[in-house]
Homo-oligomer: A and B are copies of this chain.
Amino acid sequence: MIDSRLSNLYEAYRLEHAFSGNPETLYHSMQYIMDLGGKRIRPLLVLMAAESAGGSAEEALPLAHAVEIFHNFSLVHDDIMDQASVRRGQPTVHERWNTPTAILAGDNMLVLAYESWNRYSGAGKLQAFETFTATAKAVCEGQQKDMDFASQYQVGIPDYLGMIEQKTAVLLGCALQMGALSAGLNVEESRLYYQLGCSVGLSFQMIDDHLDSFGTQAQTGKRLGGDIAEGKKTWLYLRSTQISNEVNRLFAELEDEDRIQAVRSLWVEQGLDVGLMELAESYHQEAQAYLAELKAKGRDVQALNALCEWLLARQH
């Protein structure tokens, strides 16, 4: 269900603009993360929004690439911070090379994301810069909040949702808005695209959290219950503590598989598996409302709508 015409267009551009330079250590590590794959959702959103608003996907390619480079930069640095050793089934950059090289690879990718922006020469160039820069700041802030929450006793659900929005959703919004700006829409008009991306991102993340606790290995391809095992302050955990202190007791007394089983049962009892899907669904409906609004303004939303539905079906 991913649009293969636009995917192929971006993939050709990405390979044509593969990183190379000296020293090779640095550029190889940068290209390594870019080549690990992923669904390339963000660049696709840029190109789809460009066409949806009557612009040219081809012209928007440097912006699409900037967003994808930025996304990969954030993966490299997040993996260092999270001490993650595996990414998409392969060693992370700091694991395969070392932490200093991973820090520098990320730094250089952030610079190259801006360089890619500067290859763009169509409409709304500076507005795209501003959206991109505001988003980059938000992503850094979101990641710091995520780390801060781990050691904070009191985290509110709005704080959690705000953190998720900054850490993951705004970059989808940014991608759509940059595409819309490239089609000549002004900042205000392009804002609807931004909001659409945020809603889709939030819905996506809630489904991701749901799958982590209630999915099957077949659905996710990764170990289940990771959030519970780590004691992460997700929506499920935070909502559960509002109902009773039972989850904290289980966290304190149990570990690993025992904890995962017991907490999962508790959350089902508390109706949180349903509650989280309802929350995901409310963001999904928000996204549909934005799509309807865009359609009413004469935008072509068919491809965007299909991509959003595909993303939020999540059997992949």
Contacts and interface: CB of A to CB of B under 8 A. Distances in A.
A115 B133 contact: yes
A152 to B, nearest CB: 10
A118 to B, nearest CB: 6
A130 interface: yes
Interface residues of A, number: 35
A143 B103 CA distance: 11
A241 interface: no
Contact of A111 (B81, B110, B112, B126): B110
Contact of A104 (B21, B22, B129, B143): B143
Contacts of A133: 111, 114-115, 118
A16 interface: no
Interface in A1-37: 21-23, 25-26
Contacts of A80: 99-100, 103
Nearest to A111: B136
A22 B25 CA distance: 35
A144 B110 contact: no
Contacts of A143: 104
A104 B146 CA distance: 12
Interface string A128-171: 01100100110011011101100000000000000000000000
A140 B143 CA distance: 23
A101 interface: yes
Contacts of A189: none
Nearest to A21: B141
A140 B26 contact: yes
Interface of A: 21-23, 25-26, 77, 80-81, 99-101, 103-104, 106-108, 110-112, 114-115, 118, 126, 129-130, 133, 136-137, 140-141, 143-145, 147-148
11 contacts: A21-B137, A22-B145, A26-B144, A77-B104, A80-B103, A104-B143, A108-B137, A111-B136, A114-B129, A115-B133, A118-B133
Closest 3 CB pairs of A and B: A81-B100, A108-B140, A26-B144
